[in-house]
Structure 1
Amino acid sequence: MTRVLLIAEACNPQMVSVPLVGWSHVDAVRKLPDIDALIVTQVRNREALLQAGLREDTDFVAIDSERIAKPAWKAASLLRGGSNKGWTTVTAIATLTYPYFENLIWKRFGSQIQDGSFDLVHRVTPLSPTAPSRLAHRCRRAKVPFVLGPLNGGVPWPKQFDAARRREREWLSYVRSGYKLLPGYRQTRRDAAALMIGSQDTWQQVPQEYREKCVYIPENGIDPDRFSGRRNRQAEQPLRLVFLGRLVPYKGADMVIEAAADLIRSEQAVLTIVGDGPERETLERQAEMLGIGNGVRFVGRVPHEAVQQHLIESDLFVFPSIREFGGAVALEAMAVGLVPLVVRYGGLAELVTDQTGFTVEIGSRQEIIQQLRPVLERVAADPSLIETRSQAAHQRAMEWFSWEAKARQVREVYRWVLGQRSEKPDWGMPFPDVENVSSPKAVRQQA
């Protein structure tokens, strides 16, 4: 039995984004039969974990760092103007305040780490590679392996979308690479036993001398219980297109509307937009100006548990976001057998393959629209192109990206740093299509 101290500052099953990713990772790892894990999280997550059935001080410990965390969050909100933008600012402030949280962890668990009560320490969140860790050095001195990750972030803004960057209030993204000058940046990578890297962009940020410690494991995953349904309709005209995401400039809902306008106008397609945000009124006006208001349905924001039904009822998931770190929404579509059409850039490029979906290249807004339009027309003329990819999309999502599969991948990293396997785990970067490799089954057989 491997005893693991699982650190996830953001870890909440009732939230989305990073807190849900943190929860999903640690919950899957702690359920492995040969892992004895204790979760350490921030006190704001306490009630959610109790409601999930975890026992305080047995399954998890909540660390109260609100003395620093609460005013920091308020400061970030003020700098963002209360909007759902400026996430680089939020990350920067969290990075500066996070060391206090780790200091409290060391006060609580330092003696247990030093006396060998844990076989290894694994910090799951923060996901951002900008946040250094003092625990890495302290664990190394105690001869306890420290595993970091999955780390993900730093997808460059495409130069063609600088205006969108400014509309998103991403002022700090212009100087984001300065995080490498922060105290502890290189020491964290030097002292960690393994770095789980969530994307190729993050891999490129790792200094060459530390890459031998890196294992590629994307951050996002699929909960088969949340996405247990399957798309079982046969695609036909009018083709049912769906966009799912925040209605903000870089997600690209406006490009979907313009690219699909001719098909919608001729009743060869209809479009459902699921999500809300500051761009909604602009998008509604765009649809009306194009004369397709009756063929575009704005659903608004829906609970996470209701997302599946919208995906199952659709034929093609169109999501031309130009800056996705993880792209979990594409995995959610693939999990129910819904084929995605995405821009080959950032995290989406590592999830969607030619066998499981359709991709277009990054470019200017108009260039992306000009690429989307013929793909949509081709699929509308021959909906069987969807059906030939649906099963492969479902299989790829479940074999590589279910949380259970990812927990097994993480366990192989544990085995490696503990000397229980000689070779570093390597499943390829990005993961290959399932039919072309036996690695997913090999990982499963090692369970």
Structure 2
Amino acid sequence: MTSSTATPRRPRVLQVAYACEPYYGSEQGVGWNWAKQASRACDIWVICCADDCRGVIEQYLAENGEIPYLNFVFLPQSKIQRGIHKFSRWLPFLNYYAFKRWHYQAYQLARKLHADIDFDLVHHVNFIGYREPGYLWKMGVPFVWGPIGGVQNCPWRFSLPWGGSRIKETIRTICNSIQLRTSLRVRRAASRASVRLTANSTAKRYVEQVLGYPAFLMHENGIEKIVGQKQHNRNFDEPLRLLWSGGLNFRKALHLVLHALSRLPSESSYELRVVGDGPLRQNLQKLADELGIARNIEWLGRIPHEKALEQYHWADVFVFSSLRDTTGTVMLEAFASGVPVICLDHQGAHDFVTEECGIRIPVTSPQTVIETLTEAVVECARDRDLVRRKSEGALERAKVFLWDRQGERMARIYRQVLEKHCKSTDEIRIEIPDQLPEDSKEMVSLYAKS
């Protein structure tokens, strides 16, 4: 008599990603890429917002073909939610109510799907801000939450020079502190999660110290492919090409960069390209005029993403000056193009940038940051071989954040969660490499410390 053994099946996983679209970065790209990567190892169902995502996803699938094991379930917003979004420009806090209602509807839909499909694991993907953890934690299924962000604040010591920015950031900081400590849903989601993933080390520290649960560091974004090559030495007498990209608002802190550039010695020639737009554009252009550096700056405004990516091929160095950011996708784009980064040494930038691929500026006081930024630019202008070496380091650093690597890490987390909840490998199995590639070992060791 011959015994037969059933072949282990792939896990059935439900992800909820309000924003999930190809062709985009930010939250849309986060939702899309985690779903796409997870489908390499699992059967994936994704509940996403029909109003924003459906048309783009259906167009992508029509042009590129269906993605095996990946199923999209589109959940529209109610009329009330759509109305709230129209007024969110003036009353942005109303958005949180709309997101909350949509996620509750997603939970109700998830329960119906679970009755038919019997999911092995559920995963709240985005929005990544901790304020909206959704409701999947109520389903009684192993629950993964994250990567979580949004806990970081602007440093208190940095004065805000324009308009109501200071008031807004102060209010946000106070609300952040209160919400993280008092939100019952946040605490319940954290307590019921099989694993809590945090997008940066700052969020990890807050989750562990304030909520009292261990967290695992997993940056929310990644790189599709490496498109650059190491820089060749350019002549010393050529201007250093600096690139800055982001919203022209206070928290992105371009004003710190402008003040730093105004202090450069005359022999440190440079050009600065600014990609992006925002409410402070005129103020910043006026500041550049007052500082006497306007002739060195090209303001490109808001341009298509493809055009923005082309700017990295022009640049020698990318400057990331944000006072508050979960990570900063633009830094990954710079790495993928072989462009080293000068950044403030905190939050996601602290995790991304190493000595091999950039220069980190200690976040002490505005005056000291400006002085240290000036010194960093002078060093790059005088030592082009340093820039070349850090360019090579940027390309190596980019390999760590390739989406394929990120997908393998998430698959490993899924497998550990399922094994913890007594899902036998004879029943279900996630096929991933037993050993991550050599270029991922640094990130793996970073995760192991969490």
TM-score normalised per structure 2 = 0.83
Shift of 1:162: 4.7
Q: Which residue of 1 aligns with 2:186?
A: 185
RMSD: 2.9
Q: Which residue of 2 aligns with 1:35?
A: 42
Does the 8 Å CA contact 1:222/1:331 hold for their aligned counterparts? yes
Residue 234, structure 1, aligned to residue 233, structure 2? yes
Does the 8 Å CA contact 2:107/2:134 hold for their aligned counterparts? no
CA deviation digits over 1:72-118, x for unaligned, max 9? 32332222xxxxxxxxxx4x544433343233234333144246622
CA deviation digits over 1:13-70, x for unaligned, max 9? 354422222222222222x1x3211111011211011112176997201101233421
Q: Which residue of 2 aligns with 1:24?
A: 33
Where in structure 1 are there 5+ consecutive unaligned residues? 80-89, 423-432
Q: How does 1:107-122 map to 2 (within 5 A)?
A: 107-114=108-115, 117-122=118-123
Q: 1:242 to 1:421 in 2, by over 3 A?
A: farther
State the distance in 1 between where 2:239 and 2:441 align. 34
Structure possessing the higher relative contact order (Cα contacts under 8 Å, 6 or more residues apart): 2
Q: 1:95 to 1:287 in 2, by over 3 A?
A: closer
CA deviation digits over 1:181-218, x for unaligned, max 9? 22322211122211111112211222559766522101
Q: Which residue of 2 aligns with 1:133?
A: 134
3-state DSSP of counterpart to 2:197: strand
Q: 1:358 to 1:129 in 2, by over 3 A?
A: same
CA deviation digits over 1:205-261, x for unaligned, max 9? 22559766522101121121xx52435443443111111111112212222222223
Q: Which residue of 2 aligns with 1:426?
A: none
Where in structure 2 are there 5+ consecutive unaligned residues? 1-9, 423-437
Residue 147, structure 1, aligned to residue 144, structure 2? yes
Amino acid at match of 1:356: C
State the distance in 2 between where 1:311 and 1:264 align. 25
Q: Which residue of 2 aligns with 1:66?
A: 78
Amino acid at match of 2:54: R
Shift of 1:436: 7.2
Q: How does 1:249-260 map to 2 (within 5 A)?
A: 249-260=250-261
Q: Which residue of 2 aligns with 1:326?
A: 327
Amino acid at match of 1:173: T
Q: How does 1:154-165 map to 2 (within 5 A)?
A: 154-163=151-160
Q: How does 1:1-400 map to 2 (within 5 A)?
A: 1-30=10-39, 32=40, 34-44=41-51, 45-53=53-61, 59-79=71-91, 90=92, 92-114=93-115, 117-138=118-139, 140=140, 144-163=141-160, 166-167=164-165, 169-170=168-169, 171-179=171-179, 180-207=181-208, 214-224=215-225, 228-230=227-229, 232-236=231-235, 237-263=238-264, 266=267, 268-399=269-400
TM-score normalised per structure 1 = 0.84
3-state DSSP of counterpart to 2:133: coil
Q: Which deviates more from structure 2 when the two are superposed, residues 207-216 or residues 234-243?
A: 207-216
Does the 8 Å CA contact 1:248/1:277 hold for their aligned counterparts? yes
Q: 1:184 to 1:291 in 2, by over 3 A?
A: closer
State the distance in 2 between where 1:390 and 1:279 align. 31
Amino acid at match of 1:18: E
State the distance in 1 between where 2:153 and 2:212 align. 20
Does the 8 Å CA contact 2:405/2:440 hold for their aligned counterparts? no
State the distance in 2 between where 1:210 and 1:157 align. 21
Does the 8 Å CA contact 1:333/1:339 hold for their aligned counterparts? yes
Shift of 1:137: 1.9
Identity of aligned residues (%): 26
Does the 8 Å CA contact 2:260/2:371 hold for their aligned counterparts? yes
Shift of 1:301: 1.5
3-state DSSP of counterpart to 1:160: coil
State the distance in 1 between where 2:37 and 2:88 align. 31
Amino acid at match of 1:66: S
Does the 8 Å CA contact 1:223/1:402 hold for their aligned counterparts? yes
State the distance in 2 between where 1:58 and 1:262 align. 53
Q: How does 1:408-423 map to 2 (within 5 A)?
A: 408-419=408-419
3-state DSSP of counterpart to 2:31: helix
State the distance in 2 between where 1:93 and 1:50 align. 29
CA deviation digits over 1:132-185, x for unaligned, max 9? 3322122x2xxx211111111111221122526941633333222222322322
Does the 8 Å CA contact 1:235/1:315 hold for their aligned counterparts? no
State the distance in 2 between where 1:320 and 1:374 align. 15
How many residue pairs were aligned? Answer: 412
Shift of 1:124: 0.4
State the distance in 2 between where 1:205 and 1:253 align. 27
State the distance in 2 between where 1:370 and 1:209 align. 34
